A and B are shown apart, each in its own frame.
Chain A
């Protein structure tokens, strides 16, 4: 065997993590089409929970979810924490906006410290690409990528696809079934794809679900190489506008104009923005999306954000449902969904682990912070999913 072939990067997951059976969501590529549809079905079921007077199920009672936000992000953090709480998980929060090394602690030390407190899942947000991948090696918990640098933001992509699917289902006459996936749709992702973790995840998710994706932007804002990306690319927005089902506008960071990637934000708006004129000519059936927060007047004209076909507020609402589904997918027992209507206060039907210990008690013992305690009897299974 050659050394180069041992490093093809096909599966960079640490061997220990693979063997332990702990599930992670680092990249959309960790999920196949079936897994994504499974998450959507879970989200559908959780939608009903959200409408209850007490929007909470005991699906993850006794589990602890830590949100580790090394980069400030109020919306994503609140969305994950709301999702974890609606599943009755305990939530721990950690935030740091500076490099951990600046305060004398390495990233690894930070992760190992939190791991030692006993957590089942870590939601990691970091301004550096790859941190969630690195974190896997230093914890026994499931790692959920809450957005890493310019790499990926898988839950955003899942909620985007879920929102498109939901909007299409709304168009189906009562009694009919909405589409399972995104087959046959043509989606334009417009803007700063090069620096966008949302775009990287969306391309993977949308194409895996059958959509045709075209990236639109100046070459300076598209990835240097699209080798292996199942997409088309163009610098002419008007050329593709007439054939779209969805237009997805990415946020433009104002500093791109200073880095000689753009002459000016005004020129960007004219060439790539959903201007008032473009919005006026847009087929009303074309769905308009944006991951937020919007720069009105740059990637989108103020009027365009208010189009009836805009899904922007729906995206936010669905974020909680998708994150509930992801946490349950990673941490749940894998049995039938614990959300039978009208039984919100009863134990999780079929969760298969409601008899295990007392929620919040003893859980820290089985989470395996002591190496000697892993595999200590059947209850130890509570440390990770089956």
Chain B
């Protein structure tokens, strides 16, 4: 079992009362105050007394109170990429975005491929502003040739393994990795990209890449690896998680696999639910991301898959890059965009369904939206209570106090300069979003109050 975050116990902190919100969790919706003592929720009910003796009151009027968000896909960049982000700055961005837990991706420098680096990152996480879980590499150095010491790493509480940033190209090696992982009870997660088909493309291959003279990654580069991995799951019986799916074809493959009862889960990013390859028309490198932004038809298929449960979770793929690296020619700039501070607001903005793309059924219900960013990803990462973790709710007396308070009515403009991430490479700069995280409570501590990180 994973050790609890080594956060101070909070015993000497005054009690915290989250007052006047609409509580939404996996159990449903009700209007209730939430009283927190130390690291845990002690009471949930209407009109809880503030008490008077040193109870801190957080106003949640007109707000939604939900279990803290859990990001399955965060690049914290530490070690090695501290110019772009650190565990501290990345979890600060997470907290401002309503996240109380993130899964740190292993494509650091060096890669998180051995127990000592796992311990280092977990240690940094203990003083961070959100719980830090680690995904470790499947292969040593993410080089795709030798299995990492998965057993030793799993013993440290690591549940997800991935070479994210690239897919495991060697099919034989992937088969062995799945077999080995299934003994350990851990889950492999794949960045599906057939390197030969992707051929170093800088955006989605299609009408826009052809017009812009940029080499493209065809949809089949992703779909070919999804199909191969599903065949391997069928063969080995080992569970798998599919990272950041981006094409209608991938969705169809997962849909059939789930119908056949294969043990697979899948995630999609907020940007793939909103933006398309047409965004690249001005060669703004803020829109360079991998997998690339696809077409309107792909966006519609991804939304539909989210609504009918083919895709389980929304994950940010928060990928910070220093400005000087992004201010390069499009084909030389790195892939990636930040997302932690905008994801819930972006999802809420599009959930109303007033867009031509819309949603199957008109809109995306808020409880479903929250499930996709909180309790379902908590379960996939084994950070939920049933797995011995402290994330994903439900909000009840005795439960860990990891909460987000979200104002669904606030309209705000995304200002890259105002972000707390060390990097500013958001594709949503200047956009108006509806809904904003007001407070975040992590392990009983009001870590974000009125949109401001408290440390």
Contact = CB atoms under 8 A, between A and B. Distances in A.
Contacts of B356: 2, 5
28 contacts: A2-B350, A3-B349, A4-B276, A4-B357, A7-B275, A7-B276, A9-B279, A9-B280, A100-B328, A101-B324, A106-B324, A106-B327, A106-B328, A129-B329, A129-B331, A130-B212, A134-B283, A150-B214, A151-B212, A200-B211, A200-B213, A223-B210, A223-B211, A224-B205, A224-B206, A225-B205, A227-B206, A227-B210
A9 B293 CA distance: 13
A131 B329 contact: yes
A99 B214 contact: no
Interface in A92-139: 99-101, 106-108, 126, 128-131, 133-134
B431 A133 contact: no
A369 B207 CA distance: 39
Interface string A217-259: 0000001111111000000000000000000000000000000
A133 B285 CA distance: 11
A3 B275 CA distance: 7
A13 interface: yes
Contacts of B431: 3, 6
Interface in A1-22: 2-10, 12-14
Question: In the complex, which of the residues B275, B296, B331, B350 has the most CB atoms of chain A within 10 Å of its own CB atom?
Answer: B331
A108 B327 contact: yes
A131 B332 CA distance: 11
B299 interface: yes
Interface of A: 2-10, 12-14, 99-101, 106-108, 126, 128-131, 133-134, 148-152, 194-195, 197, 200, 223-229
B281 A9 contact: yes
A73 B356 CA distance: 46
A224 B218 contact: yes
Contacts of B211: 200, 223, 228-229
Contacts of B275: 3-4, 7
B282 A3 contact: no
Interface string B179-215: 0000000000000000000000000011111111111
B442 interface: no
A2 B285 CA distance: 21
B371 to A, nearest CB: 22
Nearest to B276: A4
Given A12-B282, A129-B212, A130-B212, A225 B328 contact: no
Interface of B: 205-216, 218, 274-276, 278-285, 296, 299, 324-325, 327-332, 346, 349-350, 354-357, 428, 431
A133 to B, nearest CB: 5
Contact of B213 (A4, A134, A149): A149
Given A9-B281, A130-B330, A227-B207, A4 B274 contact: yes
Contacts of A3: 274-275, 346, 349-350, 355, 428, 431
A299 to B, nearest CB: 20
A6 B285 CA distance: 17
A220 to B, nearest CB: 12
Contact of A4 (B207, B215, B280, B296): B296
A177 to B, nearest CB: 35
A228 B278 CA distance: 13
B332 A101 contact: yes
B327 A133 contact: no
A130 B327 CA distance: 12
Contacts of A14: 282
B213 A152 contact: yes
Contacts of B346: 3
Nearest to A150: B213
Contacts of A8: 278, 281
Contacts of A194: 210
Contacts of B205: 224-225
Given A9-B281, A106-B327, A225 B214 contact: no
Contacts of B325: 101
Contact of A12 (B283, B324, B357): B283
